[in-house]
Amino acid sequence: MEKQTLISVYATELPEQEMDNTTCNDIFYEGTETEYRLAIRAAAEQVSGFLKNTKKPFSGIRPATLLAEFDNIDLEHPLPDYKSLFEEVNALYIQHATAFHLPEYIAHLNCPVVIPALAAEVIISAINSSQDTYDQSAGGTFIERRLIGWTGQQIGYSSQCDGVFTGGGSQSNLMGLLLARDYYALTYLKHNIKLQGHPANANRFRIFMSEKAHFSNQKNASLMGLGEQAIVKVGTDNRFRMDASLLEQAILREMAEGNIPIAIVATAGTTDFGNIDPLQQIACIAKEFKLWMHVDAAYGCGLLLSEKYRYLLNGIELADSVTIDYHKSFFQPISSSAFLVKNKLHLNIIKHHADYLNPKEQDYDELPAQINKSITQSTRRFDALKLWFTLRLLGKQKLGIYTDRIIDTTEQAACMIEASQHFELLSHSDLGVLVFRYLPQHAGGIDTCAMNQYIKQTMFFNGEVLVASTKVNGQFYLKFTILNPLTTIQHIQNILTVIKKHGKDYELRHHMPAKG
Ligand SMILES: *Cc1c(COP(=O)(O)O)cnc(C)c1O
C-alpha cells in the first residue's frame, strides 16, 4: 500500500498488470477508492488554504503577468503526481481567484456559497447522474421535482405548476420567451412554430420589458430569430422600475403600428439597481391585452426566502413563467437555476421526442423523464441536490435571515452614501445594489467619469476592494452588489473611506489650482 500515497495514479496503472478478473476488480476498486479519498481530501485542503490565506478579494495580478505563467505549460506531457498538479493549479488559478466570500467583494452578482451545497457538489460530480431520464437518475428525478414544486409554492403557484432546473437565468429567460412566442402562435394564429417555423408576420411580434431588463433577453430574441427589433424597451420611474403607464402606452402604440404584442418581461430585481418592477400592475396589463407575462426573478428570487420582505414580490404568482437563479440569491454554487411555469400543460408545447431517450409512446406518469421539460440541455447536471442539502440542513428560515441582513445593510449603506457630500447616490434598492459615484470636491477641470474609473481600477489592481460599475445616461458610476450577509455596515464604511482616498489622490493630481 506504500504506493497509494497522494501521488498515486494507481487506477491508471492497472491495465498493465496481469490478473484474473476477480482480483483485478477488487484491486481496481480498492485502488480507485484510495486514490479517490486522497485526491478529494487534497482538493479540500487546497480550498481550506484558499479560505484561510486569502485576505484580499483579488491578488491584483495583471493579465500579461498571468498569461506568461502559461508559457511553459505543455498539455501533451502530464504531471507526475497530484502534488505537482496542485502546485500548478495554485499558481495558475487558485491564488488569483476572485474571493467572493470576502466582505470586501461587492462587485457582481456572485454570492458566497453555503457548505452543505459544497458537500452535495462532491456527490453530484462523482456519481454523475444525468437528469434527462429516470434510468439515468431515479431519486434525482424526484428530488428535482420536489424542489420545483417547493419553489412553485414559494412563488404562490398552485399544484398545476411545473418547471425544470437550468444552467442559468439566461437559459431560463430563453425558455420563457420561447414558450410565450410558441403559445401565442398556437393559440391565436393556430400556427405551430416548433414544427413549422415562424409565421409570415413573426417579424411583427413584440416583447415588452423595461430599459433595465437583463441583456440576455435581447440575446434570446436574436437566438429565436425574432431579432432584437422585437424588443420594446419601456421607460422607468425614479427607482429605475418599469413605469406601468408607459408600458400600456407602448403596447397601444405598437398595436396602432400594426405590430403584434406577445409578451411582457417584468424584472424582479434589476441587475443594476436591485429594484422590482410593479408586478401587480404589469399583471393587470398582461391580462387586459392577453399577453404572456414572464418574471425574471434571477436576482430577486432571494425574497422568496424572507418573511420580512417577501411582500415585495407580491404579484409574481400571476406570472405565466418565472426565472429563478439559486446561484444568485440562494447562496448556491454555480450552476443552480430554474424555470417555472404556472400551468404545466404549457411545457408540452416545447416537448421533443427521441426514440433512444424519451419515445413518444412511453407513459411518463409511469416512468418520468425530466428531458421532456428541458429545451436547452439534454445531459444535465443534478444541480438540484445542492439546494436539497441546503434546505434540509440549513432550512429556508436561516437563508431568509441572511437575505434580510443583506437588504438591511444595503439600506444603511444607501443612507450613509446619501448623507455624504462626497457621493451622489442614484437610487435606494429593494435588494443589495447601489449605484453611485464619487464627486469632485473642488471646482476645476476634474472629469468625474475618469475619476471614478480610476478609483475602480486602482482598487481592483490593489486587490483590496472589488466593486462593479455601470453607465447611467452615458455617465460612469460605481456599483456595489451586496450579496454577502457577512458584509457589515462597518465594511461598507471602510470601503467608502478607501474610495474617498483614491478619489482625493486623483483630484490632487488632476486638479488645476486657481492661480494666486
Ligand atoms: C444574472 C441575471 C440573469 C442571467 O442569469 P445567468 O444565471 O447569469 O445566466 C438574468 N436576469 C437578471 C435580472 C440577472 O441579474
Residue with cell 454523475: 128
Check pocket membership of 216 for ligand 1, CB cut-off 6 A.
Answer: yes
**CB 383 near ligand 1, within 6 Å:** no
Chain centroid, CA 99 distance in Å:
17
* pLDDT value, residue 192: 97
pLDDT at 445: 85
Q: Would you state the pLDDT for residue 346?
A: 97
**DSSP-derived secondary structure letter, 339:** E
Q: What pLDDT sits at residue 511?
A: 76
Cell numbers representing residue 435 in the block: 449605484
Query: Which of 211, 328, 479, 481, when mutated, tests ligand 1's pocket best, judged by the most ligand atoms within 8 Å of its CB?
Result: 328
Cell of 232: 420594446
- Whether the bond between 429 and the residue before it is cis, its omega within 30 degrees of 0, is no
Cell of 98: 476572485
Grid cell 425530466 in the structure block, residue: 370
CA of residue 226 to ligand 1 center, whole Å:
21
Domains in the chain, ordered, with CATH? 6-99 (no CATH), 164-377 (3.40.640.10), 397-510 (3.90.1150.10)
- From ligand 1's centre to the CA of 109, what distance in Å? 8
What per-residue confidence (pLDDT) applies to 29? 54
* Cβ–ligand 1 contact at 298 (below 6 Å): yes
Q: Best of 211, 236, 299, 336 to mutate for ligand 1, by most ligand atoms within 8 A of CB? A: 299
Tens digit of pLDDT per residue, the chain (516 long)?
333 332 333 434 444 444 454 444 444 555 677 888 999 999 999 999 999 999 999 999 999 999 999 999 999 999 999 999 999 999 999 999 999 999 999 999 999 999 999 999 999 999 999 999 999 999 999 999 999 999 999 999 999 999 999 999 999 999 999 999 999 999 999 999 999 999 999 999 999 999 999 999 999 999 999 999 999 999 999 999 999 999 999 999 999 999 999 999 999 999 999 999 999 999 999 999 999 999 999 999 999 999 999 999 999 999 999 999 999 999 999 999 999 999 999 999 988 899 999 999 999 989 999 999 998 899 999 999 999 999 999 999 999 999 999 999 999 999 999 999 999 999 999 999 999 999 999 877 899 999 999 999 999 999 999 999 999 999 999 999 999 999 999 999 999 999 999 999 999 999 766 544
| 163-175 residues labelled b (16+ CB within 10 A) or e (exposed) | bbbbbbbbbbbbb
